[in-house]
Each structure stands twice: as structure tokens, then as C-alpha cells.
Chain A
Amino acid sequence: GENVEQHPSTLSVQEGDSAVIKCTYSDSASNYFPWYKQELGKGPQLIIDIRSNVGEKKDQRIAVTLNKTAKHFSLHITETQPEDSAVYFCASLSGTYKYIFGTGTRLKVLA
């Protein structure tokens, strides 16, 4: 069935360094790819998204890239700060309403 693989499962970086999280999806009909940040005990919050007709999107320190041919999309966080520490989930959406979520990446930014 459809699935989204997400790597790494945990990531530790020094404050100020960059963090990259990668996802691979299987459904070639997927056309919308959001990234969510989830802090402990809270619901996921959308931080950035990209549609299949775009290769890259940036919002301040956060960027997402999409390679449709390889079915890869990645989250890039630059100049990381301690408050970036959280669990990050990627997801894909095809023609239906249902998201397929990745397994999550626990990011720790070390001060």
C-alpha cells in the first residue's frame, strides 16, 4: 500500500547548524506535501508545505525541496535554535483527503 518513509528517526545538531530530514513517498499521484512540527503533549502544527508543481519553497529559516522523479522531499532548517527541538512529521496527500504520515524525526538542537 501507500507509504511514506522518513529518515532519520532522531537527529541531534549543534545550535546554529543546519538540519535536514528526508522523506520518500510511494504514491506517484501524491500532489501535496506538508511538514508538521509537534511539541510534547501538543497537536502537530503545519510549518511549511509544497505542491507537486513546485520544486522548492522557502520561509525564513525553513525550506522544503521536492524531487518528483525520485519521489523525495526534504525539510531543511538553517541556523537551528533550541526552540526548533521537536518531532517533525512529513506527509503526502493524493487525490483523497487522507494523509499518509511519515514515522517522525525527533530533532534535538543542542545549545
Chain B
Amino acid sequence: GAVVSQHPSRVICKSGTSVKIECRSLDFQATTMFWYRQFPKQSLMLMATSNEGSKATYEQGVEKDKFLINHASLTLSTLTVTSAHPEDSSFYICSASLGTGQGYTFGSGTRLTVV
């Protein structure tokens, strides 16, 4: 079945540094990937839609200069949290669409802790 690999699973970084999270579709091509943020005991909040070969579409309230998304190939999207602060600590999850009107496959998530 369709597999999305997300790396790293956990990362701890210092305030002011940047962190890159990778999301790869292993056995299918994903022209569209999605990045979510999830706070404890809450639902998934869509941050942005990543489109291969074009700029990402950000949801309202999400700072595009802080959360840089790159989707340079059909199998890889990256999310870079720039100048991270403790309030950016969260669980970040990517997903990939299997096609129009079809389900998503999610990555295993990345627990980011900014100290």
C-alpha cells in the first residue's frame, strides 16, 4: 500500500535555530502533500498545501516565512521551521494525496521541542 515516510520522528532544537522535516512518498508519486500541526489532545490543523513544482498554499494565520515548504520532486516535500521558538513546539504531520477524491496517507509525525 501507499507509504509516507516522515523524518525525523523527534527533534529537539535550541531557540533561534531552524529545523527541517522531510516527508517522502515511498511507492507512489504525490503531486500534492499537506502539512498539519497538532497540539496535545486536539485535532489536526492544516498549515499548508504543498504542490510539486509550485509555491505552497498556506492556511490563514500560518506565517509562510516562518514555515518554509519546498516540494521539489514528486516524492519529497520538506517543512522548515525557521528561527524556532518554544511556542513552535508541537507535533507536525505530513500527508500525501493518492489522487483526486481519494484518501490521504499520513506520515508518522515529528515531535518538535524547542528549548
A interface residue numbers (CB < 8 A to B): 31-32, 34, 36, 41-46, 49, 89, 93, 95, 97-99, 101-104, 106
* 10 extra A-B contacts, CB within 8 A, seeds A97-B97, A103-B42: A31-B101, A43-B93, A44-B106, A45-B106, A97-B34, A98-B34, A99-B104, A102-B43, A103-B43, A104-B43
Question: Could you tell me the distance between the alpha carbons of A89 and B43 in the complex, rounded to whole angstroms?
Answer: 8
Known: A42-B109, A44-B93, A98-B49. A104 touches B42 (CB 8 A): yes
Residues of A within 8 A of B32 (CB): 97
Interface string of B85-107 (1 = CB under 8 A from A): 00000010101010011111111
**Chain A residue, CB-CB nearest to B2:** A46
Residue among B46, B104, B105 with the most chain A CB within 10 A?
Answer: B104
Interface residues of B (CB under 8 A from A): 6, 32, 34, 41-44, 46, 49, 91, 93, 95, 97, 100-109, 111
> How far apart sit A106 and B106, CA to CA, in the bound complex (Å)?
19
